Amino acid sequence: MTGDNRMQLDHSWRANALAWTRAVRESRIRSRQLATDRAVVEAVLARRPARVLDLGCGEGWLSRTLTGHGFSVLGIDASAPLVEAAQAAGGEFRCLDYAQLQDDPRQLGSFDVVVCNFSLFEERLEPLLIALHELLVEEGALLIQTVHPWQARGEEGYRNGWRRETFDAFEGEFPEPMPWYFRTLECWCELLRDSGYRIDALREPAHPDTGEPLSLLVEARP
C-alpha cells in the first residue's frame, strides 16, 4: 500500500500541476495569504543565507521571492510540468526527484539554507534528510514548513498514517487526489533527531484574528 501511495503522490503532482500553479498565482489558498508564506520567507531572511535550495519548489514562488531579496536560489522539483511553469516565470530550476538527490547530493553544490515548504509528504523521509547533511555548509540550516499536526488531524484522529488530499478548499479543477503521510509533532521531532538534526526552533504561524495555528515551522541544524 505504501508503494501505491508513493506512485500516486508522484502522479498527482504531475496531473495537478496546472491547477496548483493557478491556485498559487491567483492567491486562492487562504492560509498562505494570512500567514504561512510570510512566515517561511521571514525565517529564511533571518538566516541571511548566500545560497538557498528550495526543495520541492513547485511553481517557484518562494524561489522567486528569495531571489528578489538578493539571494542565490536553486529550486528543484520532481514534477516536470511544475518545473516548466517555474522556469517560464524566471529563476534557476531543475527537475530532480528526491531519490536522485539522495543518490548524489553533492551534484547541487552547497547551501546555507535548505527550505522544504510544504514539500515533505512521504512516509520514509529519513534517507532524504540524512542526504541533506552533505548539502549544508557548516552552520547551515534546514527549514521545514508543514501542515500543523493538530489542525490537520481530521477525522482519522491524531495518529501517524497516510491521508488523502482532494484540494476541495483550493477551488479550480484538481484532477487527482494526493496521498500524503500525516505525522504527529512527536513524530516530526523523532524523525529529525534520528536523521541527525538538532531543532533550533519550533514555530506555529497563526491566523491573525483567531490565533489558530495554520502551520508548523521547524528550524534545525545537523
| pLDDT at residue 1 greater than cutoff 50 | no
Instruction: Please say whether the dihedral angle defined by the alpha carbons of residues 204, 62, 66 and 94, taken in this order, is positive or negative.
Output: positive
- Note the pLDDT tens digit of each residue in 46-73: 999 999 999 999 999 999 999 999 999 9
Instruction: Please say whether the dihedral angle defined by the alpha carbons of residues 10, 41, 173 and 179, taken in this order, is positive or negative.
Output: positive
Share of the chain above pLDDT 70, in %: 98
- Note the pLDDT tens digit of each residue in 169-196: 887 689 999 999 999 999 999 999 999 9
Q: What is the pTM of this model?
A: 0.96
User: What confidence score (pLDDT) does residue 222 get?
Assistant: 96
Average pLDDT of the residues in 4-30: 95
Number of domains, the chain: 1
- List of residues 6+ apart from 134 with CB closer than 8 A: 105, 106
Burial of residue 135 (number of CB atoms within 10 Å: 0-12, 13-18, 19+): buried
Enclosing domain of residue 141: 2-221
- Note the pLDDT tens digit of each residue in 106-132: 999 999 999 999 999 999 999 999 999
- State the CATH number of the domain containing residue 36: 3.40.50.150
User: What confidence score (pLDDT) does residue 172 get?
Assistant: 67
